[in-house]
Amino acid sequence: MNLIIDVGNTYIKLAVYSKNKLIKRLSANQDEFEKSIQDIFKSYTIDKGIVSSVGRLPKSAINALKKSTALLELNHNTKVPFKNLYATPKTLGVDRIALVSASVEQFPKNNVLIIDAGSCITYDFVNSKNEYLGGAISPGIRLRYKALHNFTANLPLLAKRQPKILIGNSTKTSIHSGVVFGIIKEIEGIVNEYETKYSDLTVILTGGDAKFLSKRLKSSIFANSNFLLEGLNYILEYNSK
């Protein structure tokens, strides 16, 4: 079985796959990580694993994993199933590499735009020739709420909430409207720009805020919260051939 570890900015996502089938998925913070790994190894026979880290995972944890299983650390040198035309491949986030790999596996020879709504919102485009061209990075939902609070004197820090009205009639409802509708219109606008150039575009929405945002986005966008994990599992299998 395969152990998949995705170290994000907020949480560490763990998954166990049997070939392409998801067997187990959980999230942990840094303090819970070691116990979560121990529980997985007690419950499953792990043959190999992959770790993708955009956050912080102690080197000691990596070394401990290497003693327990064959471990692949994803980086810009890892063999991937697409041609990387990014101008600065060394700076391309491993999470974006995994997302593009998932798109190539699940939508071969398609023009695909992957939108990952997490701490940041990333847009990644791979064309029908399996060429990764790049995309865009913008602030995510929580980052926008925090920015309004941190860089102003009087605006409160709010938890995300679906706005009930477009025209906010208080400071709180105005913030919710501005943040959420602002992101929705950003996503729709970017998708429309891509569609003018690629009429057969497939759009994937993933990430921690995908479910929250998908309620207000048009149905032609496919929401898949496991897309990054699926990409990591595919990279692991691709490098095991």
Could you state, in chain order, the average pLDDT of each consecutive group of 10 residues for the chain (241 residues)? 89 91 90 86 92 80 84 93 95 95 95 94 96 97 97 95 94 97 96 94 93 84 91 95 77
pLDDT at 203: 95
- The domain over range 2-73 is classified in CATH as 3.40.190.170: no
| 50 neighbors 5 (Cβ within 8 angstroms) | yes
- Which residue among 6, 95, 116, 209 is the active-site one? 95
DSSP state, residue 204: E
pLDDT at 185: 95
Task: Report the largest interatomic distance among the alpha carbons of the chain, rounded to a whole angstrom.
Answer: 59
- Containing H/E element for 51? strand 48-53
Q: Same topology for domains 2-73 and 83-142+170-233, yes or no?
A: yes
pLDDT at 219: 66
Q: What CATH number labels 83-142+170-233?
A: 3.30.420.40
pLDDT at 1: 94
Strands 131-139, 112-117: pairing is: unpaired
CA distances from 117 to 17, 28, 121, 225 (A): 24, 19, 5, 10
116 is catalytic: no
Strands 120-126, 222-223: pairing is: unpaired
Q: Domain coordinates of the chain in residue numbers?
A: 2-73, 83-142+170-233
